[in-house]
Amino acid sequence: MNRNITLTNVETSSDTGIRTEEMLLNVGPQHPSTHGVFRLVVKIDGETIKEATPVMGYLHRGTEKLAEDLTYTQIIPYTDRMDYLSAMTNNYVICHAVETMMGLEIPERAQFLRLIAMELNRIASHLVWWGTYLLDLGALGPFLYAFRDREKILDLFNELCGARMTFNYMRIGGVKWDAPPGWIDKVKDFVQYMKKEIKDYHRLVTGNEIFLHRIKGIGKFDAQTALDYSLSGVMLRSTGIKWDLRKDEPYCIYDRFEFDVPTGTDGDCYTRYQLRMAEIEQSLHILEQALEQFPSGGEIMGKVPRVIRPPAGETFVRIEAPRGEIGCYIASQGKDKPWRLKFRRPSFVNLQILPKLLQGENIANMIAILGSIDIVLGEVDC
Amino acid sequence: MRELLQQTPSLETALWFLLAAIALLAVLLAFVTYAIYFERKVIGWMQLRIGPNRVGPLGLLQTVADVAKLLIKEDIRPKNADRALFTLAPILAYAPAFAVLAAMPFTESIQFADLGIGILYYIALSGITVLAVITAGWASNNKYSLIGGLRSAAQMISYEVPLVMSVVGVVMMTGSMNLREIVEAQRDVWNIVPQFLGFCVFLVAAQAELNRTPFDLPEAESELVAGYHVEYSGFRFAMFMLAEYVYMFGMGTLITVLFLGGWLPIHPALDFIPGIVWFVLKFSLYVFFQFWLRATMPRMRADQLMSFAWKVLLPAALVNILLTAVVISWQSGMFS
């Protein structure tokens, strides 16, 4: 675990004879701000970070290896546990990959249900981010407000699929459960409610001087760096690159709806904050349209062979998860189990830039920067 | 009370002193107990929670249970900690927080020591708390504690300067450092009106002195876990907590005395209500304000905190002194 961590530098000043030593501080694996079991070894000089080394893998479960021994349907619940804040998009990416390989048709109603579930999940995920980010910065209240509203989404999911976090909702060729009676109206009510709440969030937090001082101009990087580190999602869009797979490589039925891709130019924590807030609003906008056009009847499962055997070959699909691009690579030999399966997890890839961002920063900014990347450790370690 | 203070010392007066001190201690501990209870309740309500409601009716005994738990916990001292300093630090934090209350005039008659330099006494003693924090941070032999302790020391020393400066205006207006006389001088109008700038500076600086939101950096949970008292548990931790709340009690009384007219009623017509009621009301207002802030504000960053103290608060306090001086000399006819 300590392989890549260099020892601290000890210097003795020739004039004063005072011995100075850099301090090696272990942040984590159990630390309130690492959002899970993540360890960050920082070398600090006073309160300035000289070097930061992320240590991860505490939550590694070998999902990809396990998947080689599972049938395609059995893999779906494993994806719930990767990015557990946004399990719907994970469900979707594995189903989407297999469906692409097999060339399956998805019924209209299932497409709508998938889209609504994914967008609700995106809002829930961003709400958790908003709450915990403010918690990291020392404000306790927003966390509870965010969780109150997220709870409403979880209740909706509970009605839809009987689970609050690990949904296991989507199936290859459709979805497992149809929307219960009256569910669509409840989601409509929620969208209206959330629109009001967002305004309150902005009133409570966005204008706060202390908050702005803590995140403006912090953790800056430019578009080239973002591309070099292959960042995606808000991390990429905050540098001015307008790239959202929902628009640029439409999947599901995103091409039918009208929405913006919020983009900033500064590439700092404040831009990322703004973008995530704007994304909630855009998701609400998509939901509004989707709920309006929701088909009144129809199947929720397409015609799928009893045993799912994608043809031999390989495929890679990617979609826009709340944290960035989540991709799924499947190499099949025509059997009912994948020969090799690989997830491109946005949290893991986005985290790579952390040591670069932390170098030379104040230790108090460490929390603001780490929080703004928005990682989920279940997904980083997979 | 006043006659008692001026009597020649004897066994009988000593006994009375002891009793009065115990009474004050009891009041204080009751305050601390219920301040914590109300803090949890108020913040709970502000954050869509209920707060403590299990132990005793309405959860009123929650803090009692918590303190009892802390007192009977095993006394853990880290192996590599500095034994002597580690033991000393909580006492250093605890003693001055109590000692400052001796000079506080709660009402006309309830005051334990009528010092001519009451303000100075308060400020000098409360300065000792910094030592406790830095000692605790150092003696724990923990990196987080050390950073927390050093941050704290820097913060408390920096904010003591504007805190003292903001009080100078009040002293100039009253012409006395005696806390009783300062209250008496507010018969016509409370100091919060003519000394509004001073009041604002004092309010902010006091918040930093108390290490409370948005200046709760020393205990910045998300970065430093618990700051200087990360290694403390059991009754030593309880002493730190107690000191913190008693200090808040002290700051509340000081701000009431200096700016809010102490025990004086809001209007002379309401004189029939006893002074202690007024005092408690004003004091509670301040304590509530504290809780309110805690539920609302994020935390400031260490470096910004320093520049705020030296570049904003201190100049504001100095301007306040200048303005007060000009107005006083103008009133006394120096310019005519």
Residues 173-202 of A with CB under 8 A from B: none
CB contact under 8 A, B298 and A213: no
CA dist., res. A362 & res. A47, Å (int): 6
Q: What is the pLDDT of residue A271?
A: 92
Q: A-chain residues within 8 Å CB-CB of B217?
A: 364
- For residue B302, give every residue at least 6 positions away whose Cβ sits within 8 Å of its Cβ, in sequence order, or none: A47, A362, A364, B151, B154, B155, B217
| More confidently predicted of A99 and A364 | A99
Q: What is the mean pLDDT of residues A158-164?
A: 91
Closest-CA residue to A370 (of A32, A1, A126): A32
- A300 reaches B (C-beta below 8 A): no
pLDDT tens digit sequence for A54-82: 888 888 999 999 999 999 999 999 999 88
* Least CB–CB distance from B222: residue in A47, A136, A211: A136
Q: What is the pLDDT of residue B216?
A: 77
Q: What is the pLDDT of residue A187?
A: 93
Q: What is the pLDDT of residue A58?
A: 87
Q: What is the pLDDT of residue B190?
A: 86
DSSP 8-state class, residue B176: -
CA–CA distances in Å: residue A325 to residues A231, A262, A319, A350: 9, 16, 6, 10
Omega cis (within 30) before A29: yes
**Two structure tokens written together for B73:** 């916990």
| Res A153 pLDDT > 80 | yes
CB contact under 8 A, A214 and B49: no
Q: What is the pLDDT of residue B12?
A: 82
| Res B224 pLDDT > 80 | no
SS percent in chain A: helix, strand, coil, step 5: 45, 15, 40
Q: What is the mean pLDDT of residues A286-306?
A: 89
Q: What is the pLDDT of residue B307?
A: 86
Q: What is the pLDDT of residue A276?
A: 92
pLDDT tens digit sequence for B227-236: 777 888 888 8
ipTM > 0.85, yes or no: no
Q: B-chain residues within 8 Å CB-CB of A212?
A: none
Type and span of the H or E element at A379: helix A377-381
CA dist., res. B160 & res. B306, Å (int): 12
pLDDT tens digit sequence for A252-265: 889 999 999 999 98
Confidence band for B5, pLDDT divided at 50, 70 and 90 = low
Q: What is the mean pLDDT of residues A224-232?
A: 91
Q: What is the pLDDT of residue A65?
A: 92
| Res A112 pLDDT > 90 | yes
Q: B-chain residues within 8 Å CB-CB of A138?
A: 213-214, 216, 220-222, 297-299
pLDDT tens digit sequence for B206-215: 888 888 878 8
Confidence band for B155, pLDDT divided at 50, 70 and 90 = confident
CB contact under 8 A, B299 and A33: no
Q: Which residues pair with A327 in a beta bridge?
A: A318, A344
Surface-to-core class of residue A164, CB atoms within 10 Å of its CB (0-12 exposed, 13-18 middle, 19+ buried): middle
Q: For chain A, how far is it from start to end, CA to CA, in angstroms?
A: 18
Q: What is the pLDDT of residue B2?
A: 61
Q: Which residues of B188-216 are buried (b: 16+ CB within 10 A; e: fewer)?
A: eebbbebbebbbbbbbbbbbbbbbbbbbb
Longest CA span, chain B:
71
| Res B63 pLDDT > 60 | yes
Q: What is the pLDDT of residue A5?
A: 60
Q: What is the mean pLDDT of residues B158-171?
A: 89
